């Protein structure tokens, strides 16, 4: 029997320092985002979770692609934020992934690899 996947909104924020990633334990980092709550869609969940996790407001948001992982169905968005990223709520660490550091989760790696490989086709 196949489990129902959680619907998740996932944010990619590119900066000169790298791509914004977050962690609650400073061991493994993920892209900001989270599960959809009752009455919202994945776009709304991405905007809400980004603010909850990093205090960032969303200036612009662009849907990039859908990514199926083992437990989550990610709708991945490119976000141009307003503000400065600071850890908030369950997030204790905010860093920028530069291709080598910090250590990111397998799913985050797969999403970023797909994004980097297809970035110019995705953004028309």
pLDDT per residue over 37-55, tens digit each?
999 999 999 999 999 999 9
Task: Give rounded-to-5 percent helix, strand, coil for the chain.
Answer: 25, 40, 35
Q: What is the mean pLDDT of the chain?
A: 93
8 band by pLDDT with thresholds 50, 70 and 90: very high
User: What is d(CA 87, CA 53) in angstroms, rounded to the nearest whole number?
Assistant: 6
pLDDT per residue over 13-25, tens digit each?
999 999 999 999 9
CATH of 6-122, one of 3.90.79.10, 3.40.50.1370, 3.40.640.10, 3.20.20.60: 3.90.79.10
For residue 124 the two structure tokens come to: 């028309």
């Amino acid at each position: 029997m196949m489990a129902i996947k959680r619907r998740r909104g996932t944010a990619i924020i590119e900066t000169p320092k790298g791509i914004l990633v977050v962690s609650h334990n400073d061991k493994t980092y993920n892209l900001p985002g989270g599960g959809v709550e009752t009455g919202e869609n994945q776009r709304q969940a991405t905007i809400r979770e980004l603010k909850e996790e990093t205090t960032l407001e969303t200036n612009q948001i662009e849907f990039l692609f859908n990514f199926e992982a083992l437990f989550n169905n990610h709708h991945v968005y490119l976000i141009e934020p307003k503000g400065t990223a600071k850890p908030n709520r369950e997030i204790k660490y905010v860093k920028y992934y530069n291709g080598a550091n910090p250590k990111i989760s397998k799913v985050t790696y797969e999403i970023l690899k797909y994004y980097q490989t297809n970035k110019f086709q995705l953004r028309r």
